[in-house]
Chains A and B, each alone.
Chain A
């Protein structure tokens, strides 16, 4: 930026040196952040795959062809490999690439929906605690401590097994369990802006509490909210995978990545790729969301990096 503010020697005096526009500065910060660029690109690809799974898939995710079961992926040295099934087939002869594509839908949907539910709960509690302080803060802190002392996976498994598992049960159970980080971060962020001048000004003008929270506080803590939202979405995806792996998440024959690992568990000693591929898919998705979140944090608030 320094070369733009001071004219370089030799420049003619009438030549105007332009300060980069705020948009250009932001663009430079975004594209200069390798993690953010990689994370966003990978996430975009996965999102595209999920959205157009029906168009780009070579087959049907539920179609079983038992005569063509356990074909290895094309890079394997085996006479059975075929370009009809680039990633091979599972033990029921279903095309693995197709199941992987459709699995992206389940992961993204559960992750996003559970994050929305936990976001609404956690943000409400956190902002109220931060804004009002005192008794409200104490109560919220108590609820938070109680929630933290419950082991997430165990409670989620127990509840899902008692109500009966389905996609929506998993989403609600996860959403109701993982709001803790939202509450912690939103409370801290609200505390930071609560006593700033523009909030006092709005209070002096006689704005209602609702209005102050919604139009004065929320816009100023939105960047923290987005960062936590990405982290919690990644967290929800990992938890769904673990629940499905343990058999109490998404139910067969749905192509959930965690369930795919679980179904291939017994065959892993002979056909290791059956667990490597869906596991790598979960890893790539979670990693890209985390990189995106870290990148957004660095771009919007570089001072909070550590």
Chain B
């Protein structure tokens, strides 16, 4: 287990470093960052000053290492637009996005696991067909359109829910549904497939033959085993969701990391963009690492490969 964990941790760190290189090189995508910062009316002197001020005149490797070591200490530099510390703005916005992500993943799991289980108990039944339809429809719906449609019906036509902001928990209902809905098809299919496989296995037959109550067999024996891959999928999807929250947060005017990312892109605020991409990527790497560890802990077969 320990050697497996160390190996995985090594890979995770290497991936994180590669991501940091990609994130860093974003500055040079637009050409000369100093020229972009200076604006159109700048003289050659202005550009040279900016280049020196931000350290763009140093060799690229030095710039990267400097940026990386600062980032490792939680210092992502100054925002070009807000003129404040990038890290403090990010950590101010991060909890909102985490809360939204947690609500969204909870919604997705509460909807999809029961549907997946019922579909597996009664394959080809009405509920199975309905949940399959939900899955197919869900995968085809553009998230922004789904969000706007929710807003239109629940917010405007029926006046049930507030449409923007984060003033109360009611504000999180629609964004969580809009964000979480996209994850339900995958979780539902995985739960269904896992349950179908487990329910056909010998130990379930044994448990039934022993005369255990059907519900006990279902939850204690079957679901506990079938849910394993779902846990790691949910962890991975949570990471994807934080990246996808940019669309939903923009629509519902939720002051989280996604909205900050969109604002920073609009303002061409490079240090902020870099920091957000890096933070979300590293968070995702961390999540997949944890999911791997949980899986390896619960299923010893994984550790060997």
Contacts and interface: CB of A to CB of B under 8 A. Distances in A.
B60 interface: no
Interface in A114-155: 142, 145-146, 148-155
Interface residues of A, number: 42
B19 A146 contact: yes
B142 A154 contact: no
A180 to B, nearest CB: 11
B242 A151 contact: yes
B294 interface: no
Interface residues of B, number: 50
Contacts of B145: 241, 261, 275, 279, 282-283
B136 A291 contact: yes
Interface of A is mostly: helix
Nearest to A285: B140
Given A154-B243, A269-B156, A242 B144 contact: yes
B254 interface: no
B11 interface: yes
A70 interface: no
Nearest to B192: A306
A286 interface: yes
Contacts, number: 128
A290 interface: yes
Interface in B243-274: 243-244, 246-247, 250, 261-262, 265-266, 268, 273
Interface of B: 11, 14-16, 18-19, 22, 26, 29-30, 136-137, 139-145, 148-149, 151-152, 156, 189, 192-193, 196, 239-240, 242-244, 246-247, 250, 261-262, 265-266, 268, 273, 276-277, 280-282, 284-285, 288
Interface of A: 35, 142, 145-146, 148-155, 157-159, 161-163, 234, 238, 241-242, 245-246, 248, 258, 261, 265, 268-269, 272, 275-276, 279, 282-283, 286-287, 290-291, 294, 306
30 contacts: A145-B11, A149-B282, A149-B285, A151-B244, A151-B281, A153-B243, A153-B244, A153-B246, A154-B280, A157-B262, A158-B277, A162-B29, A234-B139, A234-B140, A238-B142, A242-B143, A242-B247, A245-B247, A246-B250, A258-B142, A261-B142, A268-B152, A275-B152, A276-B149, A279-B148, A286-B139, A286-B140, A286-B141, A287-B140, A306-B196
